[in-house]
Structure 1
Amino acid sequence: MAASNIVPIEPPGIFLKVELEERGWSQRDLAFILGQTEQQLNTLLSGKRGITPDMARLLGDAFDVHPQFFLNLQAQYDLQNAKEPDPAVRTRAHLQALFPIREMIRRGWIQDGEASLLELQMNRFSEAANDREFTQIAFAAKKTHYDETPSHQMAWVYRVRQLSREMSVTEFSNEALKNALPKLRSLMVDPELIAEVPAILAECGVRFVIVEVLPGAKIDGVCTWLDDNSPVIGMSTLYDRVDNFWFVLRHEIEHILQGDGKQTIGIIDHLSGEGLSAGEAESDIERIANDAAADFCVSKQKMDSFYLRKNPYFSERDVIGFAALMGVHPGIVVGQLQRRMKRHDYLRKYQVPIRKYLVTSTMADGWGHSVRAEL
């Protein structure tokens, strides 16, 4: 290793000795000026005692120099002689800047340990190509912002991918997935039947994973591909409601049918329900997926007809009757009416929770339970 070119910084007391010589003062003279004993001053001049803020003010008056000058001398000397920091500090800072490491440890996605172990785990978790390069996988995700993908949302996508690799499904068939849509549609009458969804998707070669979002993340679902023939649907059930589930699921299925997300990074659209931002621009890809999802839940033509006939007075009886006619749970009709009416409180009792039916029938991570998965 080449010798360092850094010149060692002398203790501030050495500077004081040089200044005394320049002025023709003795140590006793300076002690007199400062109002201190020679013994007190000796420890300062020998470097055994540092310059405190009080002493800096005294020396400033004595030598007619700003006190900060002496504090700077002391700070530079102290910094030079400070212990070398643990290299792990820089590594942990680098990792935390990329991903919410602490929260990931709490959730059991990675294990706490030495910095080198954390870095190795994160390289594997994030599918990194090498030690300092974290890849961005291609995915089509439903979330709030178009202009960025925050780290806690990317971490969520990586977790979906990680868990999906633990699953075994049949070979993917686009035709089989299309043919499964009527069977999936028949389950919409009863929330408990949602438990059958993961198995139906697996028969088509689609992996289905449920992962709780990290704090602050706003993401409903994701369509991602492990390779060109291995699609994955990840859902967060952020809005744990029957209408939201079916809309998001059908939306992600359409992404798969269209082959979205194989090559493009961050094909993103709005949240459903209360998170839907009226007036935001939609890409053609997202518009296709949204239209497919809405029509799957309730035929747009029939929904338009019902709305025009009953608007502005929608009785509970009317809603239940129309839902029965459409062969869906009333909560699905309620969800569409809420968006049209911009009244998210309307008949909310029918928007029943569904997560409890999913966590026992598919790979599910979160809500107090962590899945062990290989990195």
Structure 2
Amino acid sequence: MQNMTNGISDRGAHMKVIKTEAEYRSALEEIEKLIGLDPTPGTTEADTAELLTTLVQAYEAKHFPIGLPDAVTAIRFRMEQQNLSQNDLIPYLGTRSRASEILAGKRPLSLSMIRALHYGLGIPASVLLQKPSASQKEQDIDWKKFPVKEMIKRGWIQATSINQDNIREVLRDFFGQITPSPAMANVYLKKDHVRSHRPVDYYALAAWSTRILICAKDLPGLARYQPGVINLDFLRTVARLSRSTDGPLLARDFLLQHGIAVVIEEHLPKTYIDGAALMAPSGQPVIGLTLRRDRIDNFWFVLIHELIHIWRHVLSPSSVFFDDFDEEGNTDRQEKEADELAREALIPRRVWERSHARVLRSPDAAKLLADELNVHPAIVAGRMRWEAKNYKILNQMIGLGQVKCLFLERSIA
């Protein structure tokens, strides 16, 4: 304990403005350690935690302009999610009156409270450290631009008629299923991390994203996510499930058991999205898939790609990645990393370089490599098509029309 304390104290003496994602991650880890120490106010450790928190918030204000949901919003969300009463917060906050003051925004959380809520209720520390926001920038939302008719048609909104007088309240109720404010709408109206070369309807994207999170929070059997569970071995375990004819369903269930929700929802017009990586305000990672390209090879690459975003890039509910895989050029560093790691997870480069599939481009070569890796031949065929930049070859091997039907059959059953 003394060594950790000294290390943190030394770090505090040399703290500077956070400029990179690596520094941001490191600062969050140190805050986590300090929360675990439960330092007394006024000590070096407590002052270091306060200063680090200020630096983290400054970084988030610059890179995540909408910000995270505030602590009170996160606590209320967890209470609703777990059907908790105010009395249930007493073990974490001390007394009923103190819980009441905190929920009313009249009292700040102490480090000991943050520690108790973080470990006891699983609320991310980065969320609990947020200061209450005065406004969620609701005035910036043009409610008429949401695809309300399509949302009603799909059953996302239960309303018989929408007009200028009630559209705002109807949509607030829709977004309020995730947070008790239009915060989710604002987060997804951002234009960050949308991989597409076509003009995107961001209002439609905000609606689709929120629908994904609404469906995710109601999934039965969703385990609590343990950060650090995803690595290359984990991804390769997921990829080997492709060998089964029910592989996409097995992958969804496997990820559910590891706290990662996978939701299938057709994309809305003018969004062009194949997949997305998101985090609910509760800290639950969520993957949204549209199955826009109903092919086995596409399903597995998109799924693994989004898992890598969850692993490496989704740091908070305001870190969101939307992917249109028709776009291959001009992608940013994080997209390039996810592409490279997805290819490595599905077919390691050392194996690819020595395989016949790299040069022969034949069905037999694809099957041979798939057998060696214990993955579906469509995955190898997809890689062969991509490497050759020729999407007319091996059409019979990519599993066209063989994914959507699996999920439809399961939903009917």
| The two structures share one fold, judged by TM-score above 0.5 | yes
**Cα offsets for 1:139-168 (capped at 9, x unmatched):** 986641498662222221111112112124
Identify which range, 281-290 or 173-182, moves more after superposition. 173-182
- The verdict on how the C-alpha distance between 1:202 and 1:175 changes in structure 2, with shifts beyond 3 A counting, is same
1:210 and 2:264 are equivalent in the alignment: yes
1:112 and 2:112 are equivalent in the alignment: no
CA-CA distance at 1:226 after TM superposition:
1.0
Q: SS of 1:163's equivalent?
A: helix
Q: Mapping of 1:64-79 within 5 angstroms?
A: none
Give the aligned partner of residue 290 of structure 1: 339
1:322 and 2:369 are equivalent in the alignment: yes
1:125 and 2:166 are equivalent in the alignment: no
Q: SS of 2:274's equivalent?
A: strand
Q: SS of 1:224's equivalent?
A: strand
Mapped to 1, the partners of 2:395 and 2:194 lie a distance apart of 23
User: Which amino acid in 2 is paired with 1:113?
Assistant: S
Give the aligned partner of residue 173 of structure 1: 226
1:199 and 2:253 are equivalent in the alignment: yes
- Higher RCO (CA-CA < 8 Å; seq separation 6+): 1
Identify which range, 176-185 or 287-296, moves more after superposition. 176-185
Q: SS of 1:160's equivalent?
A: helix
Q: Mapping of 1:150-299 within 5 angstroms?
A: 150-168=202-220, 169-178=222-231, 180-227=234-281, 229-260=283-314, 262=316, 264=318, 267-269=321-323, 271-272=324-325, 275-277=326-328, 280-299=329-348
Identify which range, 176-185 or 201-210, moves more after superposition. 176-185
**Cα offsets for 1:273-301 (capped at 9, x unmatched):** xx133xx2222221221112111111122
Please say if residues 225 and 258 of structure 2, whose CA atoms lie closer than 8 Å, have aligned partners that are also in contact.
yes
Q: SS of 1:292's equivalent?
A: helix
- The verdict on how the C-alpha distance between 1:228 and 1:254 changes in structure 2, with shifts beyond 3 A counting, is farther
- The verdict on how the C-alpha distance between 1:185 and 1:102 changes in structure 2, with shifts beyond 3 A counting, is same
CA-CA distance at 1:267 after TM superposition:
4.0
- The verdict on how the C-alpha distance between 1:149 and 1:174 changes in structure 2, with shifts beyond 3 A counting, is farther
Q: How many residues align?
A: 263
- The verdict on how the C-alpha distance between 1:276 and 1:306 changes in structure 2, with shifts beyond 3 A counting, is farther
CA-CA distance at 1:193 after TM superposition:
2.4
CA-CA distance at 1:180 after TM superposition:
4.1
1:344 and 2:344 are equivalent in the alignment: no
User: Which amino acid in 1 is paired with 2:327?
Assistant: L
- The verdict on how the C-alpha distance between 1:347 and 1:113 changes in structure 2, with shifts beyond 3 A counting, is same
- The verdict on how the C-alpha distance between 1:94 and 1:184 changes in structure 2, with shifts beyond 3 A counting, is closer
User: Which amino acid in 2 is paired with 1:167?
Assistant: L
Q: TM-score, normalised by structure 1?
A: 0.62
Calculate percent identity across the aligned residue pairs.
22
Give the aligned partner of residue 379 of structure 2: 332
Please say if residues 164 and 207 of structure 1, whose CA atoms lie closer than 8 Å, have aligned partners that are also in contact.
yes
User: Which amino acid in 2 is paired with 1:287?
Assistant: K
Please say if residues 126 and 135 of structure 1, whose CA atoms lie closer than 8 Å, have aligned partners that are also in contact.
no
Please say if residues 223 and 234 of structure 1, whose CA atoms lie closer than 8 Å, have aligned partners that are also in contact.
yes
Please say if residues 141 and 221 of structure 1, whose CA atoms lie closer than 8 Å, have aligned partners that are also in contact.
no
Give the aligned partner of residue 3 of structure 1: none
User: Which amino acid in 2 is paired with 1:321?
Assistant: L
CA-CA distance at 1:254 after TM superposition:
1.0
- The verdict on how the C-alpha distance between 1:204 and 1:266 changes in structure 2, with shifts beyond 3 A counting, is closer
**Cα offsets for 1:127-149 (capped at 9, x unmatched):** 47658994224898664149866
CA-CA distance at 1:338 after TM superposition:
1.0
User: Which amino acid in 2 is paired with 1:203?
Assistant: Q
Question: What RMSD, in angstroms, separates the aligned Cα atoms of the two structures?
Answer: 3.1
User: Which amino acid in 1 is paired with 2:149?
Assistant: R
CA-CA distance at 1:177 after TM superposition:
4.0
**Cα offsets for 1:37-83 (capped at 9, x unmatched):** xxxxxxxxxxxxxxxxxxxxxxxxxxxxxxxxxxxxxxxxxxxxxxx
Unpaired runs of 5+ residues, structure 2, are 1-140
Please say if residues 175 and 181 of structure 2, whose CA atoms lie closer than 8 Å, have aligned partners that are also in contact.
no
Mapped to 1, the partners of 2:184 and 2:279 lie a distance apart of 20
CA-CA distance at 1:208 after TM superposition:
1.2
Mapped to 2, the partners of 1:303 and 1:207 lie a distance apart of 31
Please say if residues 139 and 262 of structure 1, whose CA atoms lie closer than 8 Å, have aligned partners that are also in contact.
no
Mapped to 1, the partners of 2:336 and 2:182 lie a distance apart of 39
Please say if residues 323 and 329 of structure 1, whose CA atoms lie closer than 8 Å, have aligned partners that are also in contact.
yes
Please say if residues 140 and 223 of structure 1, whose CA atoms lie closer than 8 Å, have aligned partners that are also in contact.
no
Q: Mapping of 1:49-60 within 5 angstroms?
A: none
Q: SS of 1:113's equivalent?
A: coil
Unpaired runs of 5+ residues, structure 1, are 1-92, 370-375
Q: SS of 2:293's equivalent?
A: coil
**Cα offsets for 1:303-349 (capped at 9, x unmatched):** 23336x853x4222222222212212111111111112121121111
